[in-house]
Amino acid sequence: MRRLIAACLAASALLAGCSGSDGNSRPLQVTDDLTAATPATAPPAKTEPAGRVVQAPPADHTVVLPEQHTLALAGADRASITLFDTRDLDASPRTVDLPAPAASLRPVRNGQALIAALPEADTVAEIDLATGRVNRTPVSGAPADALPVGDELFVARPAAKDVAILRDGEIQRRVDGFPGAGELLRRGETVVVLDRLTTSLTPLDIDTGDKQPALRAGEGATRAVTDNFGRVLVVDTRGEELMAFATEPLIMKQRSPADGSPYGLAYDPGQDLAWVTLTARNELVGYDTATGQAEETHRVPTVRQPESVAVNPETGTRYIASAAGAGLQVVRN
């Protein structure tokens, strides 16, 4: 009964937090904490991590590129990207220097390159995996994430409180009202913006850039991914939940408890599993998201401070990176 009441209250709060695209509706407010949610500091690891652990620098972002047999790690404390060969993780990794630490990392151009937002350098950088060459695009506003869509580049700019839409390196449009724009996701004919300060999701029409109605996403949303079912999965770090939102229209469909300061998030499309790291417990939890309610199906001990995770969609292998320098964990099926 308490869960039902909580769900009703949450639904009311979501409806109250909606903002229309006409600019006349009341905008979503910044959270009471006035700061974005952050992962809990992990306790000392008491259980041996599952799988194997290889030496790796501290990482906040982990990306796997299966066709290139490459695993990329980026950390907020260093201006470089570390590239591992997934066929031989014992081999020395390659390092590509960047102008500044990366706030985001994602594959582009059919996995041939990576794109990173570099807020300290007011730059978005594309990294060619074959040559290590870094192509820079100046973007002011401390870019937090960048998403190529056709011949345009959507850039989250929390310092400018907007999402900028660029073509050929020049800003063509700006969408205001995003004080904590942190992640961008392509979903159908929209780009969905995760704002960590308003802890909300807002779809933007790809063709016009117009805002569509927004929804709150828990008490402190931090990470988001898309899944096979046209949804956006969101980790609520402060509220300790995993949520699922349908996007056409934007509606909350699922919310599942994830006690232990959930933070890292990855999706395995082959098994319809959402993998969530719990930094307060040094654990990785797998949720079956194919049913009406996400159900926990896996739980394994991890390296200390597991703040990022990636999944090879071809094999289901999980890569969990420690943000505290405890190494890169590899868990195979």
> Residue 293: which pLDDT band, with cuts at 50, 70 and 90?
confident
CA–chain centroid gap for 5, Å, is 30
What pLDDT score was predicted for residue 291?
83
* Token pair in block for residue 27: 């905008």
Rounded Cα–Cα distance for residues 240 and 256 (Å):
9
Within 134-206, where are the H helices?
none
Phi, psi of 164 (to 5 degrees): -100, 140
Rounded Cα–Cα distance for residues 301 and 284 (Å):
6
Average pLDDT over residues 136-147: 98
Rounded Cα–Cα distance for residues 71 and 79 (Å):
17
> Is the pLDDT score of 210 beyond 50?
yes
| Cα separations in angstroms, 141 against 145, 179, 322, 326 | 11, 11, 29, 33
Rounded Cα–Cα distance for residues 70 and 34 (Å):
38
Q: Tell me which of 79 and 2 has the higher pLDDT.
A: 79
**Contact between 222 and 235 (Cβ < 8 Å):** yes
What is the sign, positive or negative, of the torsion defined by CA atoms of 279, 280, 284, 287? Answer: negative
Q: Tell me which of 76 and 261 has the higher pLDDT.
A: 261
Average pLDDT over residues 129-153: 97
Cis peptide before 313 (omega within 30 of 0): no
* Low-confidence winner among 28-37, 191-200, 224-233 (lowest mean pLDDT): 28-37
Total-model pTM: 0.90
> Is the pLDDT score of 31 beyond 80?
no
Question: Tokens 């982990």 map to which residue?
Answer: 62
